[in-house]
Chains A and B, each alone.
Chain A
Amino acid sequence: MSAMLAALNPGWLLIFVGVVAMFLPARRIRQSLAIGAPLVGILMLALADQNVNHLTASVLGLDLVLYRVDGLSFVFGLAFLIAALLNAIYAWHTDDRIQDGMALAYGGAAIAAAFCGDLMTLFVFWEITAVTSVFMVLGAGTRASYFASMRYLGMQILSGVLLLAGIAYVYHDTGDIGLQVFEDLAQPGAMLIFIAFGIKAAFPFLHNWLQDSYSKASVVGAVVLSAFTTKLAVYAFARMFPGQDSLIWIGAIMTCFPVFFAVIENDLRKVLAYSTNNQIGFMICAIGVGTPLAMNGAVAHAFADIMFKGLLFMSMGAVLYRTGTTKASELGGLFRSMPWTTLFCLVGALSISAMPLFSAFVTKSMILSAVAHAGLPIIWLMLMFASAGVLEHSGIKIPYFAFFGHDSGKRVKEAPFNMLLAMGMAAFISIAIGIPALIPGLGYEWLYNLLPYRQEAMTYQPFTFDHVLTQMQLLVLATFAFVLLKRFNIYPPEKRGEILDTDWAYRRVGFSMANWAGTVWGKVGPAMTSVFFKLSSRAYDRIEATFSPRGELARGGLTGAMAVWTAALLGLVLLLAFISVR
C-alpha cells in the first residue's frame, strides 16, 4: 500500500478526485474529499523517494517521466499541496460543484506538472491548469468575469501553444524531451519556451491578464488562482532557465513597475494582483542570478509567497464576502466588526513586507544577499526600492484602507469560521517559518532544510545584525513616508477610476484597428467570396461530372470497359519492358 502511494504522482490523485467531486451532489462529502485529497497527497509526497523516476511511460516513441521528485520540485509540490488544503477549507461555506472540483483538479494539475520529468508531460498538465483555472474566474458569474475569463483563457492557451511549439523545436534539434537547462536563448525552441513561461509568470507587458482576472474572480477563485499558475511558471523557470542573465533585468523591472500601479489602484484585490507581479519579480530576478544562494532564495520565497499571498487574498475575499466590495473608496473601519480577519490580514501584510520574525524576511534576505554577492548594485537598489513599495501598497495600504482609515460605517458579521480557520493556518505558517529556530529544526530552519541547495541554506544566517537593521530602517522610513504623505494629503486618495496599464495598447489601439479592418473586410469580403464561390462551384461541377455515380468514370459497360483497360495496361507494361530492355 505504502509502496503504491509512494509511486503515484499526488497531482493525479487530486485531478481524479476533483473530477469525481464535480459530479457529487452531496456537498459535505465533496468538500471532505477536497480536504482529504491534499492530506493524502502530502503523505504520498512524504513517502516518495527523491531523484528516482517513479513512473515512466513510452507513448508514440517519446519517453515520458510521469513522476519524479527532487529537491526543487519537492518544495513547490509541498507548497501546492498545502495551498490546495487551505483552499478547500476556505471554500467550506460555499456550495459550488464546478468550483470545488475544478479547484482541486487545477491544484492537482499544477502539482503533477511540478513532478513530471519531461517536457511533453509538462505541456499536458500546463494545459490542464489553463483549462481548469478558467472556472475560478468564471465562478464569479458576472458579465465582467466572463470577459476576463475569456481573456485569461486566451493568454493561457497561447502560452500552451508556444510551449508546444518550443518543445517541437527542441525535440527536432536534440531528439530529447527531458527537462533540460537551456543556456542559449537565441535558439528558437528555447525562446518559444521562455515566452510561454513568461506569459504564465506575467512578465512585464504580458501581465495584464493577471490583474484583470484575479480581481474579477469569485471569492474562493482568487485565492485558488493566487497559489498555482504563476508559481508553476516560477518553478519552470527555476528548472529550465537558472542563471539566465536576461531574467535578472526582467525580474528587477517586474518588482518595480507594479509599485506605481498598486499605489494608485482602488480595487484592493487588484492591488494584491499587482503585488503578485512584484513578488514574482523577486523570484525571477533570483533565478536569473542563479547562484545556489539565489536559487534557494527564489524557491523559499515562492513557498512563503504562496502562504502569505494566499492569506492576503483570503482576507480580502472575506471582506468581499461580507461587504460585497473590495473598493478602497467604499471600505474602512472594518476592524471593529471583523477583528480576526483584521489580525490575520495584518500578519499577511507584515509577512509580505518582510518584517523580521515574519516569513518573507528570511526568504527575501537570501535573494538580496545573493544579488549583493553577485555584484549587481543597480539591481540591488531596484529591489530595495521595490521592497519599500511592497510595504507601501501591500503592507500598509491594504489593511489601512480596508480595516482602518476613515470609517465607512459598514457593520458586518465576522467572516465564517472556516475562512478564519484557513486564514489562521496560513498565518501560522507565515509566522512559523519566519521565526528563529528556537528549537533546532523548526522555525526558518525547517524551510531551509527543504531547499534544493541544502548545504548552502543551512549555513546562511538571516538574523544577522545588518540584515535586521537594513530591513528595519527600510520599513520604518517607508512607514514614516506613508504617514507624512497621508498627513499632508499628498498620498493618492482612494478614488474610483480606471488605471491605464500597458494593455491599453491593444485594448484601445489594437481594438480600433481590428474594428477598422473588420469594416474594410465587410466591404471587400463579399466581393471576394462571390468570386471564390463561382470558381469553386465550377470546379465542383467539373469534379462531380467526373467522379459521381452518374459521371464519366462510371459510364460504359462495366465488363467491356474493364477488359479494355486490362488490355491497355498489358500493352503499357509490355511497352515499358520493351523500351527499358534493349
Chain B
Amino acid sequence: MIDLLLNSAPAWALTHAAPLMIMVPLMLGAILALVPSGRIAWIVSIVATLSSFLLSLILLGIVQTNGTGIVSYAIGNWAPPLGIELRVDALNAMILLLVASIGLLASIFSWPTVESEVRKEKTSLFYSAFLLCFGGLCGVAITGDAFNLFVFLEVSSISTYVLVALGAGRDRRALPAAFNYLIMGTIGATFFIIGVGFLYAATGTLNMADIAEKLPAVSGSRTVQAGFAFIVVGLGLKAAMWPLHQWLPNAYSYGPSFVSMFLSATTTKVALYALIRFLFSVFGPEFSFEIASFTYLFMPLGIAAMVACSFQAVFQNDVRRVLAYSSVAQVGYMILGLSLGTADGLSAGLFYLLNHAMIKGTLFMAVAGVVLTYKGTTIRDFAGLGRSAPWTMTAFAIAALSLIGMPLTAGFQSKLQLGYALFEHGWWWAVLLVVFSSALAVIYMGRILEAVFFQPPANPRKTRKEAPIVMLVPLWVMALANIYFGITTKLPLDLARDAAAAVFGMGAGR
C-alpha cells in the first residue's frame, strides 16, 4: 500500500511531504474559524486529517526506502543549523503515522458526539481548535528544532485547553479542569523552554541534531545538567509521568468525550515521544547523569505509576476517570520500558505506546458512544448496556480485555515484549510488578464489564439504542485492529524496532 502511494503521489507531495503534513491542518484550522457551519467544518477536518494521514504514510515509505532513513527538510531553504529543520526518521515517522491515523478515525467519528455536546455556534470553532491541536501535535513530532518544538507544543497545548473547556456545555466542571490543565501545562512548557535555554547557552545552537553533536564536549558543565533536569521535568509533566499527572484525570473526564478520546490516544504519546527524542537522540544513554536518572528516577516513577494509579483506578466510580487513571498507569509501563536504557527496552516501550493508543482510543470511543445515547458515565449508568447497545459494548469489551492483556489481543503482545525486555535486563521483579498491575487492571476493567454485561440496567426505560453508524465503524476498525495486531505483531513491532534502532544509531533494523 505504501509502495502504491509512493508511486502514485505527485512529485511535489514527495518533496514537500514534511511541511505539508503540518501546514494543511494549521491553515485549514485557521480558515475553519470563519466557517459558519459545523457540518462543513467536520468535512474539512476529515479532509485535513486524511491528507496528513496519506502524507504520514508517504513519509514513512520514504524513510523506510531511501537508505539513510532520514528525511530532512529545510524550511525556506535556510540550511539546518541556523534555519528551522523538519527532520523525520523511523521514530517520528511512526509517531506521525499514529497521530495521523488516530486523528483521521477520530474526526470521522466526531460529528454526532460533537453535535450533541458542544454548543451549536461553537462547533466550527471547536473543529478549528481540533485541527490546530492536531497540526501542533504533528509539528512536535516532525520538527528537528528544539525551540520550534516548544512552539508546536504550545500550539497543541493551548488549543487543547480550549477543547477541554468547550466541554462546559455538557459538564461545568470542564472549566476548572481546563484551567488547572492550563496552569500545569504552562508550568511544564516553561520548564521545557528554560531547559532549552540552558542547552542553547551551553552549545550555541537550537537544532537538535546539532545540539547532540556538540553536547559531549560540554557534558561536564552544570548548565547542561540543569538543562537536562528542566527538560525532563517539563516533558514529563506533558507526558503525565507520575506524580505530574494530576491535570490528566480531570481533563479527560470533564472534556467533551471526543476530546478525551483524541487526547488519550495522542497528546501524552507525543509528549512521550519528545521526551524519548531528548533522552535518546539529543542526550544519550552515555551521559552518566542520564543513566542515573534512568535507574533512580524513571524506573521508580514508572513503577509507582503502574501500581498507584491502577489502585486509584480501582476506586473510581466514573468510567472515564477509571480510564484516565489507567492511562497514567500505562504511561508508567512505557516509562519503565524506556528506563531500561537499551534498544530492546525502548522498542518495547514504543510498541506499548502504539498498542495503548489503539486500546485507549477504542475504549474512549465506546464511552463517547454511550455518552451520546445514554448521557451518564458512572459505572452504574453502564449497567445492562451489554443488552441495549451490544455492538458498542462488545468493542468496549474487546479493548478492555486488550488493556488487561489477554492473549490474542494487542495488549498482551505489548506486555509480552515489555516482559521480554525486562527479563533480558535482569529485572525479573519488575515483571512481577507488571503482572500485579495487570491483575489490578482485571479488577478495574472487570468492575465495568461486570456492570455492562451482568447487571440489570439501572434505568429500565433504556431501550435498545446503539451509537450511530458513523461512530460504530471507526470504533470497530480500532477494536478489530486490537485483535489483528494481537495475532500478527509484525507491522507495529517492526515500526517500534526500527524506531528504537534509529535513535540508537544502528541504522534501520531491516
Interface residues in chain A, defined as those with a beta carbon under 8 Å from any beta carbon in chain B:
59-60, 543-544, 546-549, 551, 553-554, 558-559, 561-563, 565-566, 569-570, 572-574, 576-581
Chain B residues with Cβ below 8 Å from A561 are: 246
Pair B226/A574 contact, Cβ less than 8 Å: yes
Bound-complex Cα distance A579 to B291 (A): 12
Are A573 and B228 in contact (CB-based, < 8 A)?
A: yes
Contact status B288-A581, CB under 8 Å: yes
Residues of A with C-beta under 8 A to B183: 559
Interface string of B229-252 (1 = CB under 8 A from A): 110110011000001101100100
A578 to B221, CA, bound (A): 10
Once the chains bind, are A543 and B311 in contact (CB under 8 Å)? yes
Q: Which range contains the number of B residues in contact with the other chain?
A: 35 or more
Q: A580, B191: Cβ atoms under 8 Å?
A: no
CB-based nearest B residue for A579: B292
18 of the cross-chain contacts (CB-CB < 8 Å) are A60-B487, A548-B312, A549-B315, A559-B183, A562-B187, A565-B244, A566-B191, A566-B233, A566-B244, A569-B233, A569-B297, A570-B229, A573-B228, A573-B233, A574-B226, A576-B289, A576-B292, A580-B289
**Residue in A546, A548, A570 whose Cβ sees the most chain B Cβ within 10 Å:** A570
Which chain B residues lie closer than 8 Å to A565 at the CB level? 243-244, 246
* Shortest distance between the CB of B183 and any CB in chain A (Å): 5
Most A-side CB within 10 Å, residue of B229, B296, B297, B407: B229
Please state if B315 and A544 are interface contacts (CB–CB under 8 Å).
Answer: yes
Task: Please determine whether A577 and B312 come into contact, CB atoms closer than 8 angstroms.
Answer: no
B202 touches A (CB below 8 Å): no
> Given that A559-B184, A574-B226 are known contacts, is A547 also in contact with B314, CB under 8 Å in the complex?
yes
Closest A residue to B313 by CB, please name it: A547
Cα(A549)–Cα(B250), bound, Å: 12
A59-B487, A549-B315, A566-B187 known; A572+B297 contact, CB < 8 A:
yes
| Chain A residues, CB < 8 A from B314 | 547
Pairwise interchain contact A558-B487, C-beta atoms closer than 8 A: no
Q: A549–B225 Cα gap in the complex (Å)?
A: 37
The distance in angstroms between the C-alpha atoms of A544 and B293, with both chains bound, is 31
Distance of A565 Cα from B191 Cα, bound (Å): 13
Give A168 Cβ to nearest chain B Cβ, in Å.
14
Question: In the complex, which residue of chain A has the Cβ closest to the Cβ of B293?
Answer: A576
Residues of A within 8 A of B247 (CB): 562
- CB of B180 within 8 A of CB of A546, answer no
Complex CA gap A176/B75 in Å reads 54
Query: Inside 8 A of B237's CB, which chain A residues have their CB?
Result: 566
- Residues 381-405 of chain B, each 1 if its beta carbon lies under 8 Å from chain A, else 0: 0000000000000000000000000
Shortest Cβ gap from A127 to chain B (Å): 16
Instruction: For the complex formed, measure the closest distance between the CB of B380 and the CB atoms of chain A, giving whole angstroms.
Output: 15
Secondary structure call for the B interface = helix
Cβ of B220 within 8 Å of any chain A Cβ, yes or no, is yes
What is the minimal beta-carbon distance from A4 to any residue of chain B, in angstroms? 24
Bound-state Cα–Cα, A579 to B308, Å = 28
Which residues of chain B have C-beta atoms less than 8 A from A553's C-beta?
A: 308, 312
Asked if residues A581 and B289 are in contact (CB atoms below 8 Å), the reply is: yes
Contacts of A551 in B (CB 8 A): 315
Given the contacts A546-B311, A577-B229, A577-B292, A569 and B316 also touching, CB distance less than 8 Å: no
Interface centre among A59, A548, A561, A580 (most CB of B within 10 A): A580
Evaluate contact between A581 and B293: CB separation under 8 angstroms. Answer: no
Given contacts A565-B243, A580-B291, contact A549 B184 (CB under 8 A): no
Q: Is the CB of A569 within 8 A of B244?
A: yes
Does residue B317 face the partner (Cβ distance < 8 Å to A)? yes
Q: Identify the closest chain B residue to A571 (Cβ).
A: B229
CB distance from A268 to the nearest CB of B (A): 47
Cβ of A571 to closest chain B Cβ, rounded Å: 9
Question: Considering the complex of A and B, which 10 residue pairs feature the smallest CB-CB distances, nearest first?
Answer: A548-B315, A577-B225, A580-B292, A573-B229, A577-B289, A547-B311, A547-B312, A576-B292, A574-B229, A580-B288
Which residue of B has the minimal Cβ distance to A567?
A: B233
9 extra interface residue pairs, beta carbon distance < 8 Å, beyond A558-B250, A562-B184: A59-B487, A546-B311, A548-B315, A549-B321, A553-B312, A566-B233, A570-B229, A570-B233, A573-B232
B316 and A549 form a contact (CB under 8 A): yes
Contact with A along B178-207 (1 / 0, CB 8 A): 001001100110010000000000000000
- Tell me the complex Cα distance, A100–B159, Å: 64
Complex CA gap A59/B236 in Å reads 38
- Docked pose: A241 CA to B479 CA in angstroms: 44
- Among the listed B180, B219, B226, B407, which residue makes an inter-chain contact with A558, where contact means beta carbons less than 8 Å apart? B180
Q: Mark B311-327, 1 if CB is under 8 A from A, else 0.
A: 11011110001000000
Question: Please, how many angstroms separate the alpha-carbon atoms of A454 and B54 in the complex?
Answer: 61
Nearest-neighbour CB distance to chain A for B415, whole angstroms, equals: 14
* Inter-chain contacts of A576 with B (CB < 8 A): 289, 292-293, 296-297
Contact partners of B291 in chain A: CB under 8 A: 580
Q: Is the CB of A573 within 8 A of B243?
A: no
Question: Which chain A residues lie closer than 8 Å to B243 at the CB level?
Answer: 565, 569
